[in-house]
Amino acid sequence: MSSQISQPTLNGTPIPYPGSGTKIEPIWISADHTTIGGKTRKEVMARKYKYTMVYQVMSVTDYNALEAIVNTLAPATFIYAKWPQSVSPGISAITELNARELIYGTGDTNYWSSVTLVLTEVNSRI
């Protein structure tokens, strides 16, 4: 029996499931020190995640909804049950959209774009 993973959301708005190339990267804000005795130490000030979500194709409707959230220039709440780092109640993240590339279609409402959404956590996990 398989279970369906809920669709990711950004500020409560469902966004499409990401495609291949999607990844989670840990971000460590730290300083490495070597003592007089030659020992290496690491002081970690913050640890968070950066989520890169790749969409080979995204509809105009989905892109417009996503762009409206990103254009507020405020951190957004991100939830995606597939990634335990971002389960409910979600994480606060800074959002970025790359330039979209036309993949298929014409006009202003009937085409598909290639898009990458990058979400970087605002708060440290330590």
Average pLDDT score over residue span 99-123? 84
Task: Note whether 121 and 93 are within 8 A (CB).
Answer: yes
Average pLDDT score over residue span 48-53? 94
Asked which of 10-14, 40-44, 58-62, 108-112 is least confident by mean pLDDT, the reply is: 108-112
Q: Compute the distance between CA of residue 29 and CA of residue 43 in angstroms, rounded to an integer.
A: 9
**Segments making up each domain of the chain, as ranges:** 9-121
Specify the pLDDT at position 3: 65
Q: What is the pLDDT of residues 57-103, one digit of tens each?
A: 999 889 999 999 999 999 999 999 888 888 888 999 999 998 787 77
Which token pair is 123? 């708060």
**CA 38 to each of CA 30, 32, 33, 41, 85: distance values in angstroms, whole numbers, following the listed order:** 19, 12, 9, 10, 36
Q: Is the pTM of this model over 0.75?
A: yes
